């Protein structure tokens, strides 16, 4: 420990090092339940690329594991510390280095907050689409590490589609530049995509070149009430089958709606079994909403209410964004699943989740990026009750198994981390895991970067 600190101090300012055990403990884990976390030896908050390189050279020399972190809003334990590790928090590297309206790119450091970037590019008439529910606090580096999504993915896609290039500090301290600033380019293997979603296991992202889009018109949102989740999912299938491209298509079940009302008195209709939110940011969103409203009615919607203006629309979006937070108030703890299935199987996924909730005697609320088939079943439980905690974990696994049975994946946007290591092996199979480990070994032969994550 003394040798580690002595070497780190040679090229790091005193304020970049945290050794107080009470403070370092607060950096030990992200927001996931049931994920082991160790005790870090030190927390480092660098401000420059050179400081990150120094940390990695020191870690390599002393064979000390390094756990990269952003805002720790993750839900899979990917940012959890291991015993004796260096926690490398990138939150102080928070500069927007460039915004180019001509090239439609932004160049940023990893600690930039998603919402801060979004507002900054808006001032130039541009738009950065990826918008996780935690967009007011999560960082771009964390978004890249987990390949995060958001509410607008149904039209605009996920983080991976907006990362053009990266500067990455490798495990031995070398600096690697991947990708490009150009609108297209196919020179060599696509290492940029390889780093996106790697959860800090291959290198430390210290700069990103991000693609931007022209800012679309303000969207309008429609809310449709349904007597069952199956009817709401039928509406989703009708909307997508007819070729519509909403900017947002989100679903909240009854449990979620009631939790949001309890938390924030939003006045959402508690008599509904499922609430579907659909938005368009087209030149004539009212006309598109009218067409989609008719499809919802045909699928069995009991009420269809289009927002009259952007302010009403934003209120509905706030309700959806606070869904996970609201469900966390139902019991003392939650496990948030992240199973994505083909859109055509969304109804079966929700019905199966309801059956699992009944089987295990638990409250499980579901909010979903319905347009993507990406569901977030939230298992609510009392963490002080051993039996209920056991049932929560078993129901979580049952939900993931259901997703795979329906042709889906164990994670659409939250990542694997610690929480889903066993399930990643089931999804990829023996050969897939062998190749992934080979890639890890090529970039990190000593296994120092975020050990114990993914596989």
Question: In terms of Cα–Cα distance, which of 272, 277, 275 is closest to 289?
Answer: 277
For residue 33, the model assigns a pLDDT of 83
**Domain chopping of the chain, boundaries:** 2-89, 96-214, 220-405
Supply the pTM of this predicted model: 0.95
User: How far is it, in rounded angstroms, from Cα 268 to Cα 274?
Assistant: 11
Which structure tokens are listed for 251? 């679903």
**Domain 96-214: CATH class, spelled out:** alpha beta
Q: Exposed (0-12), middle (13-18) or buried (19+): which is 186, by Cβ within 10 Å?
A: exposed
Cβ 78 vs Cβ 415: under 8 Å: yes
For residue 146, the model assigns a pLDDT of 96
pLDDT < 70 positions in the chain: none
CATH 3.40.50.450 fits domain 220-405: no
CATH classification for the domain delimited by 2-89, as one of 3.30.2130.30, 3.90.45.10, 3.30.43.10, 3.20.20.30: 3.30.43.10
For residue 9, the model assigns a pLDDT of 97
For residue 133, the model assigns a pLDDT of 86
Q: Exposed (0-12), middle (13-18) or buried (19+): which is 184, by Cβ within 10 Å?
A: exposed
Strands 339-340 and 333-336: unpaired
Strands 42-44 and 17-18: antiparallel
pLDDT tens digits, residue range 76-99?
Answer: 999 999 999 999 999 999 999 999
For residue 391, the model assigns a pLDDT of 97
Strands 163-169 and 204-211: antiparallel
pLDDT tens digits, residue range 418-454?
Answer: 999 999 999 999 999 999 999 999 999 999 999 999 9
């Amino acid at each position: 420990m003394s040798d580690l600190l002595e070497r780190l101090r040679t090229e790091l300012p005193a304020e970049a090092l945290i050794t107080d055990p009470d403070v370092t403990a607060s950096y030990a884990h992200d927001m996931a339940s049931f994920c082991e976390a160790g005790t870090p030896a030190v927390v480092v908050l660098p401000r420059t690329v050179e400081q990150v390189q120094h940390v990695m050279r020191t870690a390599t020399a002393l064979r000390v594991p390094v756990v990269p972190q952003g805002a720790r809003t993750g839900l899979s334990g990917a940012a959890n510390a291991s015993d004796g590790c260096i926690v490398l928090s990138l939150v102080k590297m928070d500069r927007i280095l460039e915004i180019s309206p001509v090239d439609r790119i932004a160049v940023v450091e990893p600690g930039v907050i998603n919402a801060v970037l979004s507002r900054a590019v808006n001032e130039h008439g541009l738009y950065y689409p990826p918008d996780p529910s935690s967009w007011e606090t999560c960082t771009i580096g964390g978004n890249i590490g987990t390949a995060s999504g958001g509410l607008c993915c149904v039209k605009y896609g996920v983080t991976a589609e907006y990362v053009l290039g990266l500067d990455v500090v490798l495990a031995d301290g070398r600096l690697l530049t991947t990708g490009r600033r150009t609108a297209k380019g196919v020179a060599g293997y696509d290492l940029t995509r390889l780093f996106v979603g790697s959860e800090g296991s291959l290198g430390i992202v210290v700069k990103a070149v991000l693609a931007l889009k022209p800012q679309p018109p303000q969207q309008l949102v429609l809310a449709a009430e349904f007597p069952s989740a199956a009817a709401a999912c039928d509406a989703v299938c009708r909307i997508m089958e007819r070729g519509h491209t909403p900017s947002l298509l989100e679903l909240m079940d009854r449990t979620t709606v009631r939790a949001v009302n309890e938390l924030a008195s939003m006045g959402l209709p508690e008599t509904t079994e499922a609430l579907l939110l659909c938005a368009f940011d087209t030149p004539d969103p009212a006309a598109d909403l009218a067409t989609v409203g008719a499809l919802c009615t045909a699928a069995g919607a009991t009420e269809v209410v289009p927002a009259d203006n952007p302010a009403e629309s934003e209120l509905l979006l706030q309700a959806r964004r606070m869904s996970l937070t609201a469900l966390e108030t139902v019991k003392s703890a939650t496990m948030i699943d992240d199973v994505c299935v083909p859109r055509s199987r969304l109804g079966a996924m929700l019905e199966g989740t309801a059956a699992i909730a009944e089987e295990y005697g638990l409250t499980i609320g579901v909010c979903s990026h319905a347009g993507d088939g990406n569901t977030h079943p939230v298992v609510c439980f009392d963490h002080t009750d051993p039996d209920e905690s056991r049932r929560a974990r078993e129901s979580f696994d049952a939900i993931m198994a259901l997703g795979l049975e329906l042709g889906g994946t164990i994670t659409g946007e939250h990542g694997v981390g610690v929480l889903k290591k066993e399930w990643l092996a089931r999804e990829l199979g023996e050969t897939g895991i062998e190749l992934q480990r080979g890639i890890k070994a090529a970039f990190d032969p000593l296994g120092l970067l975020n050990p114990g994550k993914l596989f």
